[in-house]
Copies of this chain bind each other. A is one copy, B any other.
Amino acid sequence: MDLETIKALVEVLGQSDVEELELQTAGTHLRIRRAVGPRPAPVNGLVAEPSVETGGTPAAGAQPAAEESLAQPGEIVVTAPMVGTFYRAPAPDAPPYVEVGDTVEPGQPLCIIEAMKLMNEIEAEQRGRVRKILVANAQPVEYGQPLFVLEPL
């Protein structure tokens, strides 16, 4: 990281309302902090840093923090509205609700989340094409965990 880059970053910060910038790349850790009053609380509840450390244990497969990089700008991430077990098909031998590349309509079921013996169908809210399926069949999911990436149509 050269001086010019850092200078540029400092300038960018000065013109923004960003209070602190932290950058970690291979071998480099940069932190710039502006002089401002007390820090505001993070919005929207979602703070960075994946705190879910499960090490091969059931719950919490994909880390929500990874969400950002999974979806391109404009894409839709469908997240789990409850804690439970994710199923791609209505029954063990039935075909999956959707596959990558499928077009889905609003209200069309995408998967089932089983919670406390109840099967909850999770439906698409918008029209779109399935770009990614992020959780394997029969895996446990936590609240807010990304399940699908849809490309809006």
Binding site for B on A (CB under 8 A): 1, 3, 5-14, 16-37
Q: Is the interface of A mostly helix, strand, loop or mixed?
A: mixed
Q: Which residue of B11, B18, B26 contacts A35 across the interface (Cβ within 8 Å)? A: B18
B residues less than 8 Å from A6 (CB atoms): 9, 12, 21, 23
**Docked pose: A31 CA to B24 CA in angstroms:** 9
Q: Which residue of B9, B18, B23, B29 contacts A33 across the interface (Cβ within 8 Å)? A: B18
Beta-carbon contact of A3 and B10 below 8 Å: no
Beta-carbon contact of B35 and A29 below 8 Å: no
B residues less than 8 Å from A21 (CB atoms): 6, 10, 30-33
Chain B nearest CB, measured from A141 CB (Å):
34
16 of the cross-chain contacts (CB-CB < 8 Å) are: A6-B9, A6-B21, A13-B18, A17-B34, A18-B34, A19-B33, A19-B36, A20-B31, A20-B33, A21-B30, A22-B31, A22-B33, A23-B29, A24-B28, A25-B28, A34-B35
